[in-house]
Each structure stands twice: as C-alpha cells, then as structure tokens.
Amino acid sequence: MQLVIVESPAKAKTIEKYLGKDYKVLASFGHVRDLPPKDGSVRPDEDFAMDWELYGDKARQVKAITDAAKTADRLILATDPDREGEAISWHVQELLAKKKALPKEVERVTFNAITKDVILAAMKAPRALDQDLIDAYLARRALDYLFGFTLSPVLWRKLPGAKSAGRVQSVALRLIVEREREIELFRADEYWSVIARLEHLGTAFPARLVKFDGAKLDKLTLGDAGSAARAQAAVEAATFRVEEVETKPTRRNPWPPFTTSTLQMEAARKLGFSASHTMRVAQHLYEAGAITYMRTDGVQMDSSAISAARLAISNRYNNGHYLPEKPRHYETKAKNAQEAHEAIRPTDFGKDHYGSGDEGRLYELIWKRAIASQMASAVIERTSVTLREGTGQHELRATGQVVKFPGFLAVYDETLDQKPGEDDEDGAMLPVLNAGDTPAKQGVDANQHFTQPPPRYSEATLVKRLEELGIGRPSTYAATIQVIKDRAYVRTEKNRFFAEESGRLLTAFLERFFPRYVAYDFTAGMEEELDDVSGGREQWKVLLAKFWKDFKPKSDEVMEKKPSEVTEALDEFLSDYLFPPTEDGADPRKCPQCGVGRLSLRGGRFGAFVACSNYPECKFTRKFAQPGGAAAGEEGEIGKHPETGEPITRKAGRFGPYIEMGQGKEAKRASIPKDIPELDLDWAVKLLSLPRSIGAHPETGEEITASIGRYGPYLAHNGKYAKLRGTAEVFETGMNSAVAKLAEAANGGGRGARAAAEPLATFGPHPESGGEMKLMAGRYGPYVTDGTTNATLPREKKPEELTAEEAVTLITERAAKGPAKGKGRKKAAPKKKAAVKKAKAK
C-alpha cells in the first residue's frame, strides 16, 4: 500500500479516486504542529533550537496517518507546491520518524491542478523534500515568533491597551496610519474649470478651456470665482472654430492571468470580496479541480494551457482577428517573486462557468482574465480637437475615444482604482469634425472644484501597495489584514480602512522606539533575505543571528524604561498631532476647562488619553484620537431635552465619549457612534431614544427594533439579529427593508453574504485549543467559535453582551458534548439492524 498525504479531505477524496486501490490518501487538515505560544519555543542561545507542539485538534488525524504509515510501503508527500506545503510535508515526515512509523521510501510530489492527467503525471516525477524551502519556512516562522513574543510583553507593560505587534502586520498598519495622517494634514485648494457645451451635426459634446488670455491653464490657474467668471464671459462672447483635429490610433494589450495579489485586488473591486474571503472561495475551486493553485506570484501559463486557451478563443470567435498570430508570454514584475508557479487559471478553458454563488462569480472572473490574456490587443482611436477664437487668445479642447476593435475587451476589462478629483473626458463621443467647422454653442459653465486628499486604503489598494513595496507575501496578505482587523487596530467603512485609536498609538510607539523594524525598506530587505535562504544563497540561522543581534538589545532597552518615560517620549513625538498650532496663536496645550493647567498625554488602564496637569482639581480629559480641537472631547451640556426639559451632557468615559440625561440609577446614557459627523441636540435626543420600534413583523406579529449595541447598529426580532451598515440606518430603516434584512441574515445574508462574513467580535485565544475565539452571525442565529468548535448563543443572551469568559464556557461545554446528534444517529443505525437479525435467528 502507498500512502499519500495532502492537506484537505476534499483533495484526498478526489485524488484517491484518480490513483486507484493501491493508494490510500489521507488529509493532514493543514499544519499538524506549530511553535507553542509561550516563551522558549525558539531559543536563540541554543543555536535557534525550536520546539514543536501538536495542534490539539489534530491528534486523531495524526494517529490515523501514523497507523496507515506503519503498514505502508511508500510515503508520498503531496502537499501544496509552495513554501508552506513543503513545511507541512516536513512536519509530517518528522512526526512519523519520531513515532518510528516512517516508511523506508519517502518521496515528494507537487502538482498545480487537481485533474487526473496532472495528478498521474506528478506521481511519475517524484523528488526529495526541498531543504532550502524548509529552511526558509523555519527562518520565517522563527522571525515572526521572535518579533512577536519579544515585542508583545514590552507593549503590554509600556503601552496600555496594546495587544500585539507583528513583523509584517505592524508595517501594514503603519501604511494605514500614515494615510490617515496625510488626510488630516491635507488642506483643499479651490480651483475652477470652464466647460463649453457645444453641438455639431446633432451631437452634443463638451470642450474645456485650456488657454485664456494667451496663457495655458494649469489645473489650479483659475483659483477663485472672479477669475473663473472672467474666463466664462470671454468664452461666452467669442466664436470658436475648429483649428486642429488629431486622430491617433493606439493599442491596449491584455493583462496577464491572475496572481494571488491581483486576484485579491480585482475580486475586491469587482465582486466586493475581502482578501480572506477571496482565498477561501479560491481554495474551494482549487480543491474541486476547477482552477490551478491559488497561491502564486507567477504570471505565465503552461504551454498546454495556452494552447487550450487559444482553441477556446478560436471556437468562441469565428473572426480570426480575436486570436493573435503568436501566443502571449508574460514575465512577473512583482518584487521578491516566489517560486516559479503557474498563474491562476481554469483547468478547463472549455468551461466558462463553474459552480454557483460566490464560487461561480470568482470562477467566471478567473476564466475571463485568463482567456483574455491570450486574445488580440484592442485598437482604440483617440481624437483631440482644438478650437480657437479669432484672436487666438482663448482655446478650447475636446477629447474622446472610439474602440475600433475590442479585441480582449470583448471578454474582460480591469477595474481601475478610483482617484479623487480626476475627470475622465476621454470617453466622450465626438461628432465628425473638420478644420474650419464652427460648432454651435449651447452654453458655458464655470464649475467649482476642490483638490481631494489621498483616498483611504481599500483591501485592494493596500494589497497593491504592500506588493509594490515588496513587503510580506501575497499568500499571507489575507491573514495579515485579518489580524489588524481582529485586533481592532483599524475599522472598515464602505470598504475603506480607518485607523483606530489603538492602531495609531501602537504605530507611534513602534516608530518612536523601534523605527528600524517598521521601516518599509527593512521589512522588504528581510523578504529578500528569506528568498536568498529559499534559493540556497544564505543560511537561515545566519539570517536569524543578524536579526537577533540588534533586536534583542533594543527590546531590553525599551523594557527597562518606566511607563512614565515612555508616555513622556510619546507626548513629545506626537506633539504636532495632539497639539497642533491654534488659529489665534494661543497655547495649544492650555487646558480649555480650568484655563491654568497644561495638557499632556497620559497612560491609563484602558489606553492613552490627554489630561490636564491640574488633576484632580481639574478633571478635563480628551481621547487620544481627538487631536487639537479640545472642544471635540470637552465635557459639557449639549442642551435640554425638548420634551422633558432635562439637560443632556456630553461626557468622556473609559470606553469613549457618551451622552447622559438624568442622574444616578435612573440616568439614561448612550455612546456616541464614530460615524456621526457632528453631535448636536437632535442627534443626542435620537440616541437616547433607542431602541427604536419599527413595528410588528407582518408574519410573526413580534416587534422589530433597531438599536446600537456593543458591536454596532443592528435589527432585532424574536431573538434573531441583522447588522446595519451605519447609525443613520437605525433611524431610517422602514418595515419592508427591516423584514428583508432579517430574512437575508437568516439565510446567511444572500448572494454576497460570504464576502461580508466578518466576525462581530473577537475575544482572544481559547485557553485550551488556542484558537482565536470569534462571535459570528450564523444562519440560525449568532454563535461563537474557536475555529474547531461552534457554540450557539442561548436565546436569552444578547450577542452584544457576550464576554470572553462566557465565550470560553460556551465553547468548552459544546466541545465536551462531542459530535452533533445527527452524526450519532447515522452511526447508530447499523446496530439496530444487527439486533433485529439476531432476534430472528433465535
């Protein structure tokens, strides 16, 4: 018997069917062991010795592999064809050797797609484990461990509220925080454009003023309403004639097939998928044999795949112009491109559809991109028309383009990232114009504009930026982004990242005390060194020694500092952000409440905040994330309730700002949501009125309410919940919309739900399993999971009130009950039949 080890049971089932009876295929379910999450798992003083620990939920599977290995003649390690796959194979081999169950013959095979031909071909070309790839894995794993387990204790003791830091995640967080700073420092410039609305031969088209009073206009030349009005009047008074018509044919070439990062970017733009959701769906498609391996930096396709793609193009389009004479070949431009794997493509180009739901949508995107990559270029004709008035002092320009031959655009066009403030005039349809024509003037508009700040990162643009900088690996981007979300260092609104208070403070701490280790060039250089290890050009322990030599003393130095010294250093480092100059020239650190004390950064049990030096006489405080404007965090009366006459007061609490009406136990309180642009009396009254009753559900007769909980705005009905996108929806959602949202939540959220399946909350690792505990919105109600065990919340328990201790208890109790009842009934059935037969025999 020959034993084959793969990662997933879906793969195991498919491959065993291809190989036949002499083969037994078992799944490892991913990694079988890891470094224990405690000090000493990597020991630099012992030549970087590493301890490994079996995952708690893998004991049964490892036993099955061990038992099968004892009777096997040959072990075939067939895990994924990348660094992680090589590592999983190495771990399995090491475990079996330790248990003295390793067959004499051990071989490694890799394949890029799960199809019969590919699998059988791979089995005929085995190799040994690649020690260089294993060394690169060991170096990366040790680096991440040493970085996190050395730095995290420093954070816990010196930076209240900080949870963890990571070698790549902290740099990704820095990108988001720096973009936030750019947006805050941005000052908009006013500018105007003058557009003439012209018409010729029945076709209307716009023309922009590009020359005024003999001078060419730049974007900001017309900087005020007065200059714009003079230019508008000049255009209105003049007669413009066509002077030049320039027609220029251009060609657009197709994009290469998807890599991991470009798939994540385009799925985010076109389908609204998060990076982690894209990878989950792609994993399912790969295991089903529909696409090739989805973790790759390569942009090339196998020669047989190119031939199949060309045949599909030829069959699809009778017009031979859509098929170029020669196949297209691509080369990767990404920094630190990993092992030369094939690009992501369909395994069968004859299938333009596969599966349904999100799998069907992602497959269609992959198919279109791959097929388009082998199609002919698009031919586009760009036209630019120059119009001048008699004196030549003023000039208009109209531009447009026409697709003369679509080529690959008939199948696929990449979605571009939106850049604020950019006007796209190339798409305008122009009439046939010749020199000397005088188009009719329908009107002239002077339009006011303002320069826009740089856009916040989306998942697509963040992945793109990380790849440009050579930071991390495309295969790890999804996990990296998920970590900074789970740690609540960032939040997302309308698919854009906003830096949270804890994320800003952590980034400031690292920039002040560990500037080298969050520097973009250092992190990218580390990736290059890891590539040198995987290529056999550097020893992995030498790399670790160089890193540890400088990192450990720096960590010890910061650990020795008093918390007050850290706070003082951060107060000075963040001075420009926390206390920017005031418009009237007054001292920005002067306390707005007592007028005597000075403001400075303080550290507390629940994080950093700004406070007055006259404490406890003056108790003014301001949240860390409220720079400059003292009024933004100032406590005080907002106004009186229009019905009761009671004063409503804004206050600052340990969990953020809130409003209060009344005193003592009878007082009503409400947190101030972050998406309220400016808190006024109307908003305060609305927030204190929650929960809002929408009405009785038309089917059940039970009341539907809208409110704001610990995890954001939501709808509630009969123990079931549905998330709302923002605070405004709490007060605007009507009965029809509420019923639809509750139904979508009950059905898993509809077509696009899987793309938005983010945890409602996270509670840290489970003390026994070690898995991250998450609160999720399930089809049958909210549940908590550690990745292995799912525990439904009791009906009487509101999800927004769930604590970490309760999550641990629910998961532990559910795990103790064993498998679900349904599985037990299936196993019990044969016993009943056997009992009947025995009775008849008697």
Helices (H), 338-435: 357-372
Task: Look at strands 772-778 and 781-785 and give their pairing.
Answer: antiparallel
Kindly report the length of the chain: 842
Asked if the peptide bond before residue 698 counts as cis, ω within 30 degrees of 0, the response is no
| 137 belongs to the catalytic site | no
Name which of 218, 202, 212 is nearest 236 in CA terms. Answer: 212
For residues 765 and 742, give the distance between their C-alpha atoms in angstroms, rounded to a whole number: 30
Which contiguous run of DSSP H or E holds residue 713?
strand 712-717
For residues 543 and 167, give the distance between their C-alpha atoms in angstroms, rounded to a whole number: 15
78: which 2 tokens?
Answer: 């067939």
Q: Are 338 and 81 in contact (CB under 8 A)?
A: no
Name which of 167, 81, 57 is nearest 129 in CA terms. Answer: 81
701: which 2 tokens?
Answer: 């007769």
Three-class HEC string of 64-80: HHHHHHHCCCEEEECCC
Decide: helix, strand or coil at residue 135. helix
Helices (H), 487-580: 501-513, 520-534, 540-559, 563-573, 575-578
796: which 2 tokens?
Answer: 């009487």
Decide: helix, strand or coil at residue 416. coil
Bridge partner residues of 403 (DSSP): 380
Residue 309 sits at the vertex; the CA angle it makes with 305 and 311, to the nearest 5 degrees, is 115
Decide: helix, strand or coil at residue 116. helix
Asked if the peptide bond before residue 616 counts as cis, ω within 30 degrees of 0, the response is yes
82: which 2 tokens?
Answer: 């990348």
Diameter of the chain measured on Cα atoms? 118
Q: Are 768 and 59 in contact (CB under 8 A)?
A: no
Q: Are 370 and 399 in contact (CB under 8 A)?
A: no
For residues 16 and 606, give the distance between their C-alpha atoms in angstroms, rounded to a whole number: 54
Bridge partner residues of 291 (DSSP): 346
Instruction: Please name the amino acid found at residue 50.
Output: M
For residues 193 and 445, give the distance between their C-alpha atoms in angstroms, rounded to a whole number: 8
| Candidate list 286, 293, 322, 354, residue with the active-site label | 293
* 678, 684, 686, 689 alpha-carbon torsion, rounded to 10°: 160
Q: Please list the active-site residues.
A: 293
